[in-house]
């Protein structure tokens, strides 16, 4: 049995705990719930032994609170591994932990990001070694819609393989959660060509749809999905994904992300990050 790493928030509005426990039960995964605490004890004029005692007390109190929360949603904390970690920089710890036989990371979404500072969500989106499920405040119900989105223009073998992995993962989640699955493929008309009236957007999209049909058929074959679940839509990629997810009332959107890093990521971002800034439902992201 694989593990599911659930990141618990310090407040009572933590959405990852109940959603993660629900997912672990549905998919036969072993849940591990991890909470982080930290406060700077250096300024306290205490000896090391006293500081260690304070740290131990804070961790114990946090563990008690977390155990009660687990019991609230699971009925019992038995079978659920609970860890409280003393750390201020949580993303590296999560990434290291998740690399050891974990199926996914589940975390409540937080959209706070400022110039010069990346939120934990954004760090995990770019660096997590396993799929990252960021949950929203919308409840996931049976018979809901799961929407996968793939890049039909993927030219590298790595990105093509990622497309298949996204579809296989979305299919697995749909089967386990008894949800309807739809696959969105966006045809993005080059803005500069459209603005200069060098192409007619409808004609361009129609021609591209014909050209991309063999790609869709191959993806359907490789993923074992029927052709009718694939939908091609014309428009800007991020906005079209969000619009279609809202129209279908999707409860989970599954997509791949290249996970750019450094200055390039800060300046350009990627499609998954653009989508995440607009979506208001659960999002599962995978990397090559």
Q: Give the per-residue pLDDT at 187.
A: 87
Query: 113 with 91: CB under 8 angstroms?
Result: no
Please state whether beta strands 30-37 and 3-8 pair in parallel, antiparallel, or not at all (unpaired).
parallel
Q: Is the dihedral of CA 243, 206, 285, 166 positive or negative?
A: positive
The token duo for 225 is 């999905």
Q: Give the per-residue pLDDT at 62.
A: 92
Higher pLDDT, 83 or 44: 83
Query: 219 with 230: CB under 8 angstroms?
Result: yes
Distance CA 204, CA 227 (A): 22
3-state secondary structure of 273: helix
The token duo for 253 is 């959107």
CATH code matching the domain that covers 3-135, chosen among 3.40.50.300, 3.40.50.620, 3.40.50.970, 3.40.50.2000: 3.40.50.620
CATH topology of domain 145-286: Rossmann fold (3.40.50)
Question: In terms of pTM, does the model score above 0.85?
Answer: yes
Query: 232 with 216: CB under 8 angstroms?
Result: yes
As a whole number, mean pLDDT of residues 23-34 equals 91
Query: Does this chain's domain 3-135 share its CATH topology with 145-286?
Result: yes
Question: Could you tell me what percentage of the chain is helix, strand and coil, using 3-state DSSP and rounding each to the nearest 5?
Answer: 45, 20, 35
Instruction: Determine how many CB atoms are found less than 10 A away from the CB of residue 234.
Output: 16
pLDDT digits (tens, 9 = 90+) for 113-155: 543 445 888 889 888 999 999 998 766 666 789 999 999 988 8
pLDDT digits (tens, 9 = 90+) for 89-113: 899 999 999 988 899 999 998 765 5
Distance CA 252, CA 165 (A): 16
pLDDT digits (tens, 9 = 90+) for 215-243: 999 999 999 999 999 999 988 888 899 99
| 42 has pLDDT over 90 | no
Q: Give the per-residue pLDDT at 100.
A: 83
Query: Buried (b) or exposed (e) across 81-102, using 16+ Cβ within 10 A?
Result: ebebeeeeebbeebbebbeeeb
As a whole number, mean pLDDT of residues 189-217 equals 75
**Domain positions in the chain:** 3-135, 145-286
Distance CA 78, CA 56 (A): 23
């Amino acid at each position: 049995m694989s593990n599911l790493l659930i990141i618990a928030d310090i407040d009572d509005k933590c959405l990852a705990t109940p959603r993660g426990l629900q997912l672990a039960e549905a998919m036969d995964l072993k849940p591990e719930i991890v909470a982080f605490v930290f406060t700077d004890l250096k300024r306290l004029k205490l000896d090391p032994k006293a500081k260690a005692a304070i740290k131990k007390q804070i961790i114990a109190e946090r563990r008690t609170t977390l155990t009660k929360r687990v019991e609230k949603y699971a009925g019992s904390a038995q079978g659920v591994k609970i860890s409280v970690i003393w750390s201020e920089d949580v993303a590296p710890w999560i990434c290291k932990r998740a690399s050891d036989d974990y199926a996914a990371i589940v975390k409540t979404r937080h959209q706070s990001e400022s110039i010069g500072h990346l939120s934990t969500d954004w760090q995990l989106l770019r660096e997590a070694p396993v799929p990252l499920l960021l949950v929203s405040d919308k409840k996931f119900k049976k018979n809901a819609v799961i929407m996968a989105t793939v890049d039909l223009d993927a030219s590298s073998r790595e990105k093509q393989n990622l497309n298949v992995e996204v579809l296989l993962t979305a299919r697995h989640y749909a089967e386990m959660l008894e949800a309807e699955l739809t696959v969105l493929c966006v045809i993005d008309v080059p803005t500069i060509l459209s603005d200069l009236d060098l192409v007619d957007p409808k004609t361009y999209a129609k021609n591209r749809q014909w050209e991309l049909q063999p790609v869709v058929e191959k993806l359907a074959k490789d993923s074992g999905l029927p052709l009718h679940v694939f939908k091609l839509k014309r428009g800007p990629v991020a906005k079209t994904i969000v619009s279609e997810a809202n129209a279908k009332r999707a409860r989970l959107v599954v997509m791949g992300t290249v996970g750019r890093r450094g200055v390039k990521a800060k300046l350009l971002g990627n499609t998954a990050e653009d989508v995440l800034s607009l979506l208001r439902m659960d999002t599962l992201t995978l990397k090559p």
